[in-house]
Structure 1
Amino acid sequence: MVYTLTVPDNYGYVVFVALGLTPLLAFAQGNVSGLLRKPAKVPYPNPYASEQQAKENQAAYKFNCAQRSHANLLENMPQTMIMSLFAGLEYPTAAAALGAGWLVFRIIYAYGYIQSQKPHGKGRLNGSGFWLMQAGLWGLCCATALKMI
């Protein structure tokens, strides 16, 4: 059986951001965490350094920040990818732009979390604009759904 799916012009950008660049970011952040594991002296299968290790060893603290940043990405990635793909059916340019903005803010978030000297990982807040991008995608999804009703 043959199925035909018609997508709007510029939908390729949505797919590129959602299914190309987003997994690439997850791969890159996973590698950063992996590279920071050895200096932190956190053996597998432990996902994080203990609180005591992080207090005594800056490398362990940095590893925990990288791990948490990556985990937060993985927690938000599925719905963002799905929202981009769905919203892009009606608003491809806006969905691709919001998705790209989401990636930029995620990079700023990770960099601030890992590299900032601010206590308690507060450097991550510089990239918290990704929440606005997600909210925009959610709004476009709602608008697309309403058009389908």
Structure 2
Amino acid sequence: MVYTVTVPDNYGYVVLVALGLTPVMAFGQGLVSGSLRKPAKVPYPNPYASEQQAKENQAAHKFNCSQRSHGNLLENMPQTMIFMLFAGLEYPTAAAALGVGWLVFRAIYAYGYIQSSKPQGKGRLNGSWFWLMQGGLWALCCATALKMI
């Protein structure tokens, strides 16, 4: 049995961002977290340094920030990828652009969380605009669904 799927022009950009660049971002953040584990002296299988370790050791605090940033990416990545792929069926250019924006703000979020000297990881707030990109993709999904009704 043969199936034919027709996608709009420029849909390749959506696929590139959703299924190409987004996993690369996750892999990169995983590498950063892994590289910070040894200086933090957090043995496997512990996912985080204890609160006491983080208070006494700046490397442990940095590792925790990296782990939390990576965890937040992994929590938001699946639905964002699906949003991009679905919204891109009707709005390929906008979906790809919002996806790239999401990745850029995710990188700023991670950098601010890990490298900032602001207390309680508040450096991450510089990149919190990723929520706007994610919301835009969700809105495009709703618009696409309404067009299908």
TM-score (norm 1): 1.00
For residue 117 of structure 1, give the secondary structure of its aligned residue in structure 2: coil
The amino acid that maps onto 2:142 is C
Once residues 27 and 2 of structure 1 are traced to their aligned partners in structure 2, the CA distance between those partners, rounded to angstroms, is 35
Mapped to 2, the partners of 1:148 and 1:63 lie a distance apart of: 46
Work out whether 1:114 is the aligned partner of 2:114: yes
**Distance in 1 of aligned mates of 2:89 and 2:111:** 32
Which aligned pairs between 1:47-66 and structure 2 lie closer than 5 A? 47-66=47-66
Q: Distance in 2 between matches of 1:99 and 1:2?
A: 31
Distance 1:45 1:2 in 2: 47
> What number of residue pairs does the alignment pair up?
149
Q: Which amino acid aligns with 2:22?
A: T
Partner deviation per Cα, 1:67-89 (whole Å, 9 max, x = no partner)? 00000000000000000000000
Q: Which residue of structure 2 aligns with residue 26 of structure 1?
A: 26
Whole-angstrom distance in 1 between the partners of 2:3 and 2:69? 40
CA RMSD between the two structures = 0.2
One-letter code of the match for 1:12? G
Structure 1 runs (4+) greater than 3 angstroms displaced: none
For the pair 1:5 / 2:2, whether they are aligned, the reply is no
Structure 2 letter corresponding to 1:119: P
Shift of the alpha carbon at 1:135?
0.5
Deviation at 1:132?
A: 0.1
Distance in 2 (alpha carbons) for counterparts of 1:128 and 1:3: 41
The answer for the alignment partner of 1:147 in structure 2 is: 147
Q: Distance in 2 between matches of 1:134 and 1:26?
A: 16
CA distance in 1 between counterparts of 2:20 and 2:56 reads: 39
Gaps of 5+ in 2: none
Deviation per residue, 1:41-87 (Å, 9 max, x gap): 00000000000000000000000000000000000000000000000
Q: State how far apart, in whole Å, the 2-side matches of 1:71 and 1:2 are.
A: 40
Q: Distance in 2 between matches of 1:4 and 1:111?
A: 43
Q: Give the equivalent residue in structure 1 for 2:84.
A: 84
